[in-house]
Amino acid sequence: MNMKKILITNNYTGVPREIVFGLAPEGFCVETVSANTREALMEQVQDADYILASGRLKLDGEVLSHAKKLKMIQRTGVGLDSIDLEYLKTSSIPLYVNQGINAQSVAEHALLLMLACLRKLTVINANTKAGVWKKQEQGVQTYELHGKTVGIIGMGNIAKRLVALLKPFGVHILYYNLFRESEEYECENCMQFVSIEELIGAADIISINCALTDETRDLINADRIAMMKDGAIIINTARGGIVNAADTAAALASGKLAFVGMDVHESEPIAEDYPLKAMDNTILTPHIAGVTHDAFSAMIRDAFRNIALFDKGELEAIAGSKYI
């Protein structure tokens, strides 16, 4: 009997590959793309029964039109900007997303970046290793998180986890979202619902936690940076296209911004001429916030579970979050 094929749209190697194949469900043929290229995806998608969407390869209408046997798409994470949602709406192909599966991991990374930027950790680490021992001189140029105003743009699963992590630090939180949270939730977490202009003008630290859409692309640009406090910090664990890298680099060079922590970037991997790459007052990580061992294992396990349940006709009643 021919086994049904699950195509993973990423070319996993090393430990990630071991985790993936160690969790593969029985009774299915699991493949990863042979290379992270559109050509490999186009070839291998043709006989796929299921797609486990991972990585940055685009599942656009042309690619999906070649998947003649496709029954369902399961996303490993929560970002949907690599999937042609309009095509799916006109087809009979359902899309499932396990909401919040890596929210704790991303929230912890956002907090890590905040603390590292405030304490200029990368700069001081490099200085210490180079033999620079200027304790007071360096120390007084760093700051505590306690008492700061943190502005959070977007209030989804990740942002709510971040709010919980921030609570013990005694910060004041401003947030902007399409929908307002309950008065009780705001009160419990020392939060205030404001316009994006108010948030940008008042926050010491701005955390980007919204989706990338036509409305949010270049949301943080030169005009909005000019509205920020001198010495503000920007943290982005959402999508690179939300923050204009060139405008941010110029603000870092001028001293308008003190530091930025970026886990996501407009082009991934980053290009040689990426404007934030050579700056000392940046911390750059490779879209890794949601990929701890714990989170990655949970994402893969739950994604395979959903596919196996869907194949048996049991997913709607038992598990999974249907997006389309």
Tell me the C-alpha to C-alpha distance, in Å, between residue 231 and each of 29, 142, 175, 250, 265.
53, 12, 20, 13, 22
Asked if 79 and 102 touch (Cβ cutoff 8 Å), the reply is no
Helix (H) or strand (E) holding 32: strand 28-32
Burial class (CB in 10 A: 0-12, 13-18, 19+), 250: middle
Asked if 97 and 323 touch (Cβ cutoff 8 Å), the reply is yes
Q: For 229, which DSSP code? A: P
Give the DSSP letter string of 77-115: SS--TTB-HHHHHTSS--EEE-TTTTHHHHHHHHHHHHH
Catalytic positions, written as ranges? 239, 268, 287
| Residue whose C-alpha is closest to residue 239's, from 203, 214, 256 | 214
Asked if 290 and 300 touch (Cβ cutoff 8 Å), the reply is no
Asked if 39 and 82 touch (Cβ cutoff 8 Å), the reply is no
